[in-house]
Amino acid sequence: MKALSAVIAAAALVGGVQLFHDGNGESVALEATPSNIYRLVANGDEGGCAVTRGASVSDGLSLLTVAPNCRRLLPGIEQVKFWRQQNDGTVAFSADGVDPIVTFAVADGDGYESYAPALPLLSLAADGDLKPRD
């Protein structure tokens, strides 16, 4: 009976490994991971800056790194340290994890658009090719 249990456990382990890996040994779970690097742009301007969502701190709250040049888009945004994802899909950036400096709603298509403060209008879109130092 112990041998049968061991065989079942081994089969479950192998099946679990196969579930998360395709034939070439690369993890499928990694392919499904969304980018944590975003480009923040004001009013459709060609310029922008990098915003990087970091490790999760608690449910819906993650660390956030904002490039120093983001200050030119929205003064004060360089103080943000947290990304809060709400159940309704909105995202808020804050310095303390509670009081938002800027709040975004899901945009048509990919990304987010700011609605508070009303001006400047900011867009936030995933950019896997963007370097965090931008």
The predicted structure's pLDDT at residue 45: 73
Question: Own/partner pairs for 95-101, CB < 8 Å, 24+ apart?
Answer: 97/57, 97/61, 101/74, 101/76, 101/77
3-12, 28-37, 103-112 — which is least confidently predicted? Answer: 3-12
**pTM for the whole structure:** 0.68
Give the start-to-end residue ranges of the domains of the chain: 1-33, 35-126
The pLDDT tens digits for 30-73 are 343 457 999 999 987 767 999 999 999 999 999 999 999 999 99
**Which sign does the torsion angle of CA 126, 109, 104, 73 carry?**
positive
Under 8 Å CB-to-CB from 90, ≥6 apart: which residues? 103, 104, 105, 106
The predicted structure's pLDDT at residue 26: 43
Q: For the chain, what percent of residues have pLDDT higher than 90? A: 59
36-50, 77-91, 111-125 — which is least confidently predicted? Answer: 36-50
Q: Under a CB-based contact definition with an 8 Å cutoff, are residues 48 and 133 in contact?
A: no
The predicted structure's pLDDT at residue 110: 79
Structure tokens at 30: 């990694």
Structure tokens at 53: 């969502």
The predicted structure's pLDDT at residue 109: 75
Does pLDDT of 75 surpass 60? yes
To the nearest whole number, what is the mean pLDDT of the chain?
A: 77
